[in-house]
Chains A and B, each alone.
Chain A
Amino acid sequence: MTQVAGALGPKADGPLKLAVPRGALFEGTLDLLDAAGIPTEELRSDSRSLVFAAGSITLVTMRPSDVPTYVEAGAAEVGITGKDVLLEQADRMVYELLDLGFGECRMVLAGRAGDSRLGEAERRLGTVRIATKYPRIAERHFEQSGRQAEVIEVKGSVELAPLVGLADGIVDLVASGRTLEENELEVREEIAACTARFVANRVAHKLRAAEVDELTAKLRAAPR
């Protein structure tokens, strides 16, 4: 990557703020930051604070789905979140700078194992009912494959929906596939492979170029 010579123009406003996702990507994020030489002990030992000083940068913790919101607004200059979140919030203008490689999952369409309901609904009714926490990804997937779907947004365990007949199938993020198996569901279509991504605010990427590039290079070079 090209190193940008010299910070340009105005002085930066304080240390760079990195949005750190709590939840499934939390451990992987902290391990990566450690490997990149950014201290995380404080963050590991204190689960209640939200903002942490970590060497030359500040870490702010939040839900993964909030990361694009904070980064788009520039409240955090850079952040780490899952590709699933970025796909669902595709209208958030953030720069996706790096595939961090960890937190590997697949966004899939799943139906009940050994059950022809999905295919039957499509054939006989021309549309399928899909329960999901990712309504926009689901809608886009069906739209792009030229099919009709009634997308039902649920907040809790999506696996429940096909079991009790709310939906014919689900669109969900799958890591090991164990949850699907336990609920007698099986993958029918792969929609996207998802990993953790490093994102940056548009303006910070320009005005704090040297710092953003340095952090990007550190994360890229960090041993995994």
Chain B
Amino acid sequence: MIHPIPPGTRDILPDEMRELRRLHLSLMEAFEAHGYGEVSTPTIELDDVLARGDGRSTGSAYRFFDERGELLSLRSDMTIPIARLIANRYANAEPPIRLCYISNLFRAVRPQRGQMREFVQAGVELIGAPAPQGTAEVIEVLAAALDAAGLDRAVIGLGDSDLFRQLLSELGVEGEARDSVLERLATHDLVGLEWVLGELDGVSPEGCRTLVALSQMRGGREVIEQAREIGGGAVERATTRLRETFDALEARGAAGRIQIDLGLLRDLGYYSGAILEVYDPALGHVLGGGGRYDELISRFGVDLPAAGFALYLERVHVALLEEERRRASENAGEGR
């Protein structure tokens, strides 16, 4: 007789668990080597507290009442619980504070390979270290984590989450129209983007072309200069931030995996400045992401700049398997 489990959850058996545990250990070793201490927070939090971190409160799909009638949430990311933890436990500590975690999280996604409703994220949070050095440190740790995991082909996309928000303000696009443009930029719906821009009053064709062109600019360091030539205050500020971060990374010898991507936009409400995404050529899905969230912790009453990243552990595992298969077939090809 089969006793069902909820969709999007699963049992993990020894063969897989052994590999996941190994991955766990190598990532944790990389985090610790950079001075990040592991923390654990409750799987359930008070819903009000999580909502404070993300005003749209879209995070948690699983909410329920406890015996006192308090509304509880299963956490859907670790950044907000850690922001709360900082306010509770480190408000008077000497920054920077370096924390890391490997935790189970919950989201109501469509279950598929590497994407379950209960999943594990491994990540770090660097609190109290501003851009560009703080951002560069986080990216350095991320690169080290990818090395430790064995994903030597993985790429880190680096963009700027303020670019389009500020650019749209400059173009006089506000409110609902702005959200509608940002949503299409985030999903890279270029057909919809051109349509929405066409419907807007008062945005010059040149402004529209700038938006569309910027969203497609990605590549090496040269992209920063190419974008800068487009001009305008928002572009100037974003490219300056990107250049400073890139310079700091080069000084650390950690720029090797970077792809500058001006079209990068993540939909989480708390990012400001640099944003990150991680890709591996062997996997069609994003391996993880992160960025700066300089405003987030102040929502909990402690004004500290912060940055971090999180990797989806199961997706890293899938990518590793694909990379192993690829290497095996390449070696077999060479042997012939």
Binding site for B on A (CB under 8 A): 1-2, 4-6, 8-10, 12-13, 72-75, 91, 93, 95-99, 197, 201-207, 209-210, 213
Bound complex: CA A202 to CA B153 (Å): 17
B226 surroundings in chain A (CB, below 8 A): 2, 5
Bound complex: CA A66 to CA B261 (Å): 29
A2 surroundings in chain B (CB, below 8 A): 213, 216-217, 226
Bound complex: CA A108 to CA B218 (Å): 38
Are B281's CB and A10's CB within 8 A? yes
Partner of B213, one of A1, A8, A96, A201: A1
Bound complex: CA A113 to CA B110 (Å): 40
The closest CB in chain B to the CB of A74 belongs to B284
With an 8 A cutoff between CB atoms, is B191 at the interface?
Answer: yes
Partner of A202, one of B191, B222, B286, B326: B286
With an 8 A cutoff between CB atoms, is B259 at the interface?
Answer: yes
With an 8 A cutoff between CB atoms, is B81 at the interface?
Answer: no
Partner of A206, one of B112, B220, B261: B261
Are A4's CB and B286's CB within 8 A? no
Are B155's CB and A207's CB within 8 A? yes
Partner of A96, one of B191, B217, B259, B285: B191
Q: State how many angstroms separate the Cβ of B295 from the closest Cβ of chain A.
A: 27
A73 surroundings in chain B (CB, below 8 A): 112-113, 284-285
Are A206's CB and B157's CB within 8 A? yes
Bound complex: CA A201 to CA B281 (Å): 11
Are B257's CB and A4's CB within 8 A? no
With an 8 A cutoff between CB atoms, is B8 at the interface?
Answer: no
- B105-137 contacts to A, CB under 8 A, are 110, 112-113
Are B281's CB and A207's CB within 8 A? yes
- B169-204 contacts to A, CB under 8 A, are 187-192
